[in-house]
Structure 1
Amino acid sequence: MLPGARSSDRYRIELVCLGNICRSPTAHVVLEERIADAGLGDLVEVTSSGTGDWHVGDPMDRRAAATLTAAGYDATRHRARQYDAGEPVDLVLVMDDANLADVGGRTDRVRKFRDLDPLASPAKGGSDVPDPYYGGDDGFEEVLTMVERTASAIVDALLHERPWLS
């Protein structure tokens, strides 16, 4: 399920969306916390980025930050950055099909984030994390629910598939 090679002394996971202000930073904050809670913080590094450059240096969208904060997460440290295919990472998880195309398509180390979601149904088009940017607050809450569930599945996979993490 997860690629096995490590790019450095830590297993590196990059989360990618369009502007790096909504979906991928939400996933970044949640996954990083779940990894720390599992005792893997020194072994797994999480980063996030966007395929576009127009938000580089900006904090996450205020609605995404408010949704995370209301759920007890710290959304204050994020600053948007642009995806760089040359960075050494072990696993790239994109939020939708457009992001997948933007990073060059599916490979052994590039997948969609919800490929790891136990409730996603790729056969029915349900493998995207929907972009909440142009919608209301409920879209950000829906994204957080998907992200929390998928982050838990990712941590389970790390614990069970990567013996060097134990």
Structure 2
Amino acid sequence: MRLTSAATELPAPLHPGRYRIAMVCLGNICRSPVAEVVLSARMAEAGLDDVVEVFSAGTADYHIGKGMDPRSARTLTDAGYDATRHRAQQFQDSWHDEVDLILVMDRANLADVTGGVERSRVRLFRDFDPDFPGEEVPDPYYGGDDGFTEVLDMVERTSAHLVELVADVVGR
């Protein structure tokens, strides 16, 4: 199923010839790094990695400088992705003026990133999920391994759709 509503429209690039996407969750060790790794890989497969930069951050400073949760890393590695380069960082308010699209994993992240102010460049990641648009990416941190696999499935499905939309917005 392909989404066609205005909810799937991406903001125009701030700078012609490049597009920056930030993935954001609470601690930047589970959901947002998985989304970063998968979307980056999909952009490379589509030949868009020369114009699209994907990175991630957390709204909290709990894990700055640390690698991703071992369960996230293992889930990515088992699926054939490289999970070794991630280092957690904290979201910066200046990104509102520097990043083309900020994708948050849940509504609490949305409130933290926007401060309650509507911002056209900030959206829920799963606004672009072709099967369940507008849903949240659940935090698997306190659960078992199945939660990490479920997150990966959501991220892969949503990333495939995002690649199509980004290709359109960058003119490829």
Q: Give structure 1 regions of 4+ aligned residues with deviation exceeding 3 angstroms.
A: none
The unaligned stretches of length 5 or more in structure 1 are none
C-alpha contact (below 8 Å) 1:7/1:89 kept by paired residues: no
* TM-score normalised by L of structure 2: 0.89
Is 2:100 the partner of 1:90?
yes
Identity between Structure 1 and Structure 2 (%): 60
The 5 Å alignment of 1:53-68 reads 53-68=61-76
User: Which amino acid in structure 1 is aligned with residue 127 of structure 2?
Assistant: D
* TM-score normalised by L of structure 1: 0.93
After TM superposition, give the deviation of residue 8 of structure 1 in Å: 6.8
Is 2:44 the partner of 1:14?
no
Mapped to 2, the partners of 1:64 and 1:2 lie a distance apart of: 28
Match of 2:129 in 1: 117
User: Which amino acid in structure 1 is aligned with residue 31 of structure 2?
Assistant: R
How many residues align? The count is 160
> How large is the RMSD of aligned CA atoms in angstroms?
1.2
The SS at the match of 1:103 is helix
Match of 2:35 among 16, 27, 33: 27
C-alpha contact (below 8 Å) 1:69/1:75 kept by paired residues: yes
Q: Deviations over 1:55-90 (max 9, x none)?
A: 000000000000000000000000000000203100
The unaligned stretches of length 5 or more in structure 2 are 1-8
